[in-house]
Amino acid sequence: MGVKEELLRRRTFAIISHPDAGKTTLTEKILLFAGAVHMAGAVKSNKIKKTTVSDFMEIERQRGISVASAVMSFEYMGLKLNLLDTPGHKDFAEDTYRTLTAVDSVVLVVDSVKGVEEQTEKLMKVCRMRNTPVIIFVNKLDREGRNPVDILDELEKKLDIRACPMSWPIGMGSLFKGVYSLHAGALRLFRPHTGTDNEEVTACSIDSAAVEETIGPDAAAQLRADAALAEGVYGAFDRAAYLEGKSAPVFFGSALNNFGVKEMLDTFIDMAPCPGPMKAENRSVQPDESALTGFVFKIHANIDLRHRDRIAFFRVCSGRFEKNKFYKHVRTGSDIRFAAPAQFLGSSKDVIDEAYPGDVIGLYDRKNFKIGDTLTEGEPLNFTGIPSFSPEIFRELIHTAKKAKQLEKGLSQLMDEGVAQLFIMKNTGRKIIGTVGPLQFEVIKYRLEHEYGAECRLETYNAYKACWIRSENREKFEEFCRFKTDAIGQDKDGNTVFFTESEWMLKHYIEDNPEISFYFTSEFK
């Protein structure tokens, strides 16, 4: 098959949610239904009972949370699915935001008990900025949760998107009997046990006598009233509105009990978009172009601790990627080839010969790549929308006397991953690490000690925010830097960074220095 035929059978999507909504469990069950794994992991009470495929780092296994995006590529129903499981915790949001630049659609998991939570709203705003199509899976219907109408109303109000229920729950919690598939006209009855075949499906009209016979007259009457309400209030599914990011199909189920997952998955592969255009600085890149283009959105060191490998995750945007073929590294201008490009299923990987638009592949990296770097067949092309964010929490790195070289190596590699940012203060040489959340520091310290054998201390550094500064007026710029010399540092690329002590003072500096530009993402570079 050619590029056009291959891209039509690709679906590249992310699963996102607030922590503990069931995102990683849903990911595992999708892999289970697709036959990519034979036993799904479970995350309960922050302890891993069986290791999940997507949580492959040791600290993830210990804490029972995802702290890094994982890539899983597998076949299902004749299609190639590229699934990116993202961290739910807000402290790792930057990794999730960058991952969302590499996908064509999203599955958003919502806890039926807790409803729409803070991180859910933030993630949805990122999707709305890119008009990313979103499917919503309302999880944990086997628990006592909110009324479905209340959940749908909250989805529309807080996420600013029109909800379109594709199924409707019959009962909830201890009375949960299953769902009625509004779009397919079928009863799906809940038969809880450990296998994957826990749904009894009966194709029937909502007005059929089979509904009473199956779930009882009272439940049938309630279901018909609910279905009529859903049709009248929320309307029929509009695929065009979904693809434009204006409407979200909503499914109800229980990922832990394997219920509703297959219905959502089978519907997803029919309605979700194949790879689409990607925005670059000077033009829009079409996926069916013959020349290879793509970008690095994530770097991860030590996926395999035995080999100390460093992997750059690369989204193919157009053309055909081929093993051992030379491509132009746009930022450096060098030509580079890859002898062992790989596709991933969590931490396991297989070497591939080729990849097509929508595919996310791993490239072995010897410090060639930075996040946002582009490969082409010669065109000087740079993709947009892959920034680093201005950090708001800071720690000073204090060296110990032992293993200084290992510490420097580990620090350099972890900063390249984009999990945090390292700044060197201009007048003192102090090393300041900045993140968007405090849990990142725990991950950094743990990985430095366990992956590199390097110990360090991280002590609080008081600052409100670090932002990049630039000016066309060199004299004014140097004057400002001299005036605030104790608050001036450099990032790892040599760009000048200003540390401000409070929100009020930052506003003051901006107003009093109109010839200096203050940036809160790295996209000015």
- The class that CATH gives domain 278-376 is mainly beta
Which among 171, 153, 168 is positioned nearest to 115, based on CA atoms? 153
What does pLDDT average to over the chain?
A: 86
Class at the top of the CATH hierarchy for domain 393-524: alpha beta
Considering the four listed CATH numbers 3.20.20.105, 3.40.50.1370, 3.40.50.300, 3.90.76.10, the one that applies to the domain covering 3-271 is: 3.40.50.300
Q: Report d(CA 46, CA 49) in Å as an integer.
A: 9
H or E, element range at 210:
helix 209-215
At 368-406, the pLDDT tens digits run: 898 889 999 999 999 987 767 778 899 999 877 677 888
Nearest 5°: the CA angle 219, 221, 223 is 65
User: In whole angstroms, how far apart are CA 170 and each of 107, 226, 227, 382, 434?
Assistant: 23, 9, 11, 50, 48
CA distance readout (Å), 67 to 84, 312, 384, 440, 446: 13, 17, 25, 8, 12
Strands 247-252 and 134-139 come out as parallel
Q: Are strands 10-17 and 105-111 parallel, antiparallel or unpaired?
A: parallel
* 92 — pLDDT class (breaks 50, 70, 90): low
pLDDT digits (tens, 9 = 90+) for 306-315: 555 788 999 9
pLDDT at residue 48 is higher than 50:
no
| Cβ(166)–Cβ(421) below 8 Å | no
For residue 45, what pLDDT band results from cuts at 50, 70 and 90? Answer: very low
* Burial zone of 159 (CB within 10 Å; 0-12 exposed, 13-18 middle, 19+ buried): buried
Measure the CA–CA gap between 81 and 103, rounded to whole angstroms. Answer: 11
Indicate the pLDDT class of residue 118, thresholds 50, 70 and 90: confident
* C-beta separation of 22 from 42 below 8 A: no
| Of residues 186, 193, 116, 113, the one with CA closest to residue 147 | 113
Q: What is the number of alpha carbons within 13 Å of residue 159 lying toward its C-beta? A: 31
In 341-416, alpha helices (H): 404-416
Q: How far apart are CA 398 and CA 401, in angstroms?
A: 10
User: Is the sign of the CA dihedral 409, 410, 414, 417 positive or negative?
Assistant: positive
pLDDT (tens digit per residue) in 219-276:
999 999 999 988 899 988 999 999 999 999 999 999 998 899 999 999 999 999 999 9
The pLDDT score that the predictor gives to residue 368 is: 86
Whether 399 and 57 have beta carbons less than 8 Å apart is answered as no
Note whether 215 and 202 are within 8 A (CB).
no
Kindly report the pTM of this predicted structure. Answer: 0.81
Ranges of each domain in the chain: 3-271, 278-376, 393-524
Residue with tokens 């891209």: 7
